[in-house]
Amino acid sequence: VVNIDAAGTKSSFTVPEQLVATIDNNTKQMEIMRNGVVEQTFPVSMGKPGYDTKNGTYYVLEKFDTIVMDSSTYGVPVDDPSGEGYKLKVKDAVRIDNSGIFVHGAPWSEGSQGESNVSHGCINLSAENAAWFRKNFGSGDAV
């Protein structure tokens, strides 16, 4: 709680907890710190070559229980002969960038999480870890 007394006008407000996720692409691990203390470490898979997840700081923009992800929204037809097209329902999706990068549950990539990057740019988590992430992270939290 922060208390302010400015020229006799008093006010107070509560500062929310600080929640930050940091991802190391070398180890393929997401470290989550709450108020400066490591709370969780999750294996991840990020963008494969050609679909690399860009380095930088992202912020939680919005959250979805379920969302349909469609490769045609960034120019790859669903029926692309390369096999790179997709249209599927994804659970526990957290948008961190307006270009379409999400942290989300990806049960199909659990065998690669912590080992290799296989996504189209999103940050893949196990179903259980994605549910935890969506529940705990809120608007403006840093990734």
> Annotated catalytic, 122?
yes
**Under a CB-based contact definition with an 8 Å cutoff, are residues 109 and 66 in contact?**
no
**Under a CB-based contact definition with an 8 Å cutoff, are residues 89 and 74 in contact?**
no
Residues 6+ apart with CB under 8 A from 72: 78, 85, 87
> Annotated catalytic, 104?
yes
Residues 6+ apart with CB under 8 A from 101: 53, 54, 58, 95, 121, 122, 123
Query: Smallest Cα–Cα separation from 130: which of 95, 99, 106, 98?
Result: 106
Active-site entry in 21, 44, 103, 122: 122
Strand 102-105 vs strand 87-95: parallel, antiparallel, or unpaired? antiparallel
Active-site entry in 28, 104, 120, 134: 104
Residues serving a catalytic function are 104, 122
